[in-house]
Amino acid sequence: MPERYIEANLKPLVHHESSHYWGFVGDFPEVIEEYLEYGVMKCIAFNRRGNLLAAGCSDGSCIIWDFETRGIAKELKDKDCAVAITSVSWSKYGHCILAAAVDKSLTLWDVVKGERMAQTVLQQTPLRACLHPGFSNPSICLACPLSSAPMIVDLLTATTIVLPVSLSDIGNGATPPSSNKIPDGSAPFSPAIACFSKYGDLVYVGNSKGEILIIDGVSIKIRGMFSIPGSALIKNIAFSRSGQYLLTNSNDRIIRIYENLLPLKGGHEVLDRANQESIEQDEVQRLKHAGSEALALFREFQDLITKVHWKAPYFSGDGEWVAGGSASKGEHKIYIWDMDRRLAKILEGPKETLLDLAWHPVKPIIASVSLTGIVYLWAKDCTENWSAFAPDFRELEENEEYVEREDEFDLVPETEKVKELDIYEDRDIDIVTVEEGDFALSDSDMSQEEIFLEVSSEDKMSQQQMREIMYSLRASIHVITTLRNKYASILLPVLKFSY
């Protein structure tokens, strides 16, 4: 491991308090802050709040990291599965995790109990699978197998509904066939990728012809169709956290952002009206008209010099930034653009191929997975500025002997003393209750509490030490701010040297 990237296992180079990031809305990561290492990790996903990070490993296990302490909170392991995990997906409130594996299995886990809730085996290896975003405890998922069409899977009943991947699949306007059997792959098949809309009422399928099919999630009928420029094969498709934008990654090495013109709920009704408006046209033209009412090209991102292919493109949590990993072998580069199409930063890591990446839903942090199975955490490169707390603070390059004034330590009569705030006043402080709010979420639905997992005893020690350091630092800063007019010249150099 190159020393210039990593200094110590699970020891942050500069540890940031969670609240530190709230003042930097719209910022993006710049350097590797630390790394996570456990086995050989292949894929990652944050839960909705970002306090937990799930990672699928090559041995079939799923590791859940407490992202605040960087400790392992839970390990989900199926003794019958010893192959690599290809995809992990959280349920809406983080109570369940869906893991797709190379052995063609889809496994739904109860995160708190660490127990397997359901499992089904497909006939093709699912490269990507995600749980339905509209249910708090879902059993419905969307799977994208290696060499067959995307399908909606009911994990409890083990039934599947194959989605159409082109207009030819629906014949003369008929509903595409629903089946519990998956095609055996004997016939030639063109790759396709799919994703749910924000609330799961629509499914967006990208095919090898450069078409985006908008499918009703209930009737499984194609409601609209949109063609991307160049008609290149679509490799990735994903919505932003807010549901306002749709991202596609195509074989022409261009990441495209489309504005979602449909309402977040009830989009199929708008598509139905658009189809009725062009009822006199043939079916293809009707679907294209409906597609034009659903999506509009907003931005395009590419590297005109290197013409690099992209891997795992991702929106930031606030939707203001777009990240795309380089698909070149032996290269760990992440490109970051703003929504005005300006290249903001190129993150360059060690000479290891990038497998997957995920942007933290709240903070300007990116987690990326390398070919060696290590997860790198990219964060802001923050510089300490103590003068922000005490304007008259003077930083010292080295220790200096302090010479006090003649009357500096003279006793002051009680009548002249100014009553200071007692920072050590005994009072109860609530450190357990979590305030509810929309600042960390893409919607205001807080009808069900999310889970918080307890880290192992080994990680508790590091967590306790971290808290003691932060409490000590906060108390020191408070003392400096309160007493700086009288004691700044004495306390600040000592504190700076001790820190």
- In the predicted model, what is the mean pLDDT of residues 107-124? 94
Q: Residues 299, 443: one domain? A: no
Q: Residues 405, 313: one domain? A: no
Encode pLDDT of 69-82 as tens digits: 999 999 999 888 89
Instruction: Please state at what angle helix 267-277 crosses helix 283-292, rounded to 10 degrees.
Output: 130
Which amino acid, one-letter code, is at 85?
I
Tokens, residue 192:
């396709």
- In the predicted model, what is the mean pLDDT of residues 165-190? 52
377-407 as b/e, with b when 16 or more CB fall inside 10 Å?
A: bbbbeeeeeeeeebeebeeeeeeeeeeeeee
Q: Residues 282, 249: one domain? A: yes
Distance of CA 191 to the CA centre of its chain: 25
Does some domain include residue 12?
A: no
Per-residue pLDDT for 449 more than 60? no
- In the predicted model, what is the mean pLDDT of residues 100-122? 95
Report field, pTM of the whole predicted structure over 0.95: no
Q: Residues 455, 494: one domain? A: yes
Higher pLDDT, 180 or 4: 180
Work out whether the CA dihedral 431, 432, 436, 439 comes out positive or negative.
Answer: positive
Q: Residues 173, 310: one domain? A: yes
Q: What is the mean pLDDT of the chain?
A: 81
SS3 288: helix
Which amino acid, one-letter code, is at 179?
S
Which amino acid, one-letter code, is at 392?
D
Distance between CA atoms of 313 and 310, rounded to whole angstroms? 7
Q: Looking at residue 123, what is its pLDDT? A: 92
DSSP state letter for 17: -
Q: Looking at residue 138, what is its pLDDT? A: 83
Does some domain include residue 17?
A: no
Encode pLDDT of 304-336 as tens digits: 999 999 999 999 999 999 999 999 999 999 999
Per-residue pLDDT for 203 more than 70? yes
Q: Which domain holds residue 395?
A: 386-498
User: Which of 364, 379, 394 is where one domain is finished?
Assistant: 379
Per-residue pLDDT for 139 more than 60? yes
Higher pLDDT, 274 or 435: 274
Q: Residues 81, 124: one domain? A: yes
Does some domain include residue 16?
A: no
Encode pLDDT of 35-53 as tens digits: 999 999 999 999 999 999 9
Does some domain include residue 18?
A: no
SS3 490: helix
Encode pLDDT of 279-302 as tens digits: 778 889 999 999 999 999 999 999
The β-bridge partners of 75 are: 63
Question: HSE on the CB side for 357, CA within 13 Å?
Answer: 30
pLDDT band at 189 (very low <50, low <70, confident <90, very high): low
Closest Cα to residue 58, out of 356, 398, 438, 448? 356
Contact 196, 142 (CB under 8 A): yes
Q: Residues 256, 390: one domain? A: no
Does some domain include residue 141?
A: yes
User: Which of 379, 400, 426 is where one domain is finished?
Assistant: 379
Q: Residues 169, 51: one domain? A: yes
Q: In this structure, what CATH number is given to the domain that contains residue 123? A: 2.130.10.10
412-427 as b/e, with b when 16 or more CB fall inside 10 Å?
A: eeeeeeeeeeeeeeee
Higher pLDDT, 410 or 63: 63
Contact 175, 163 (CB under 8 A): no
Q: Residues 372, 425: one domain? A: no
Higher pLDDT, 461 or 157: 157
How many structural domains does the chain have?
Answer: 2
Tokens, residue 497:
């040297």
DSSP state letter for 404: -
Q: Looking at residue 2, what is its pLDDT? A: 38
Distance between CA atoms of 62 and 232, rounded to whole angstroms? 34
User: Which of 356, 379, 402 is where one domain is finished?
Assistant: 379
Distance between CA atoms of 498 and 487, rounded to whole angstroms? 16
Q: Residues 150, 251: one domain? A: yes
Q: Residues 241, 291: one domain? A: yes
Rounded to 5 degrees, what angle do the CA atoms 51, 14, 66 make? 20
Contact 295, 258 (CB under 8 A): yes
pLDDT band at 395 (very low <50, low <70, confident <90, very high): confident
Encode pLDDT of 212-263 as tens digits: 999 999 999 999 999 999 989 999 999 999 999 999 999 999 999 999 999 9
Q: Residues 363, 481: one domain? A: no
Does some domain include residue 462?
A: yes
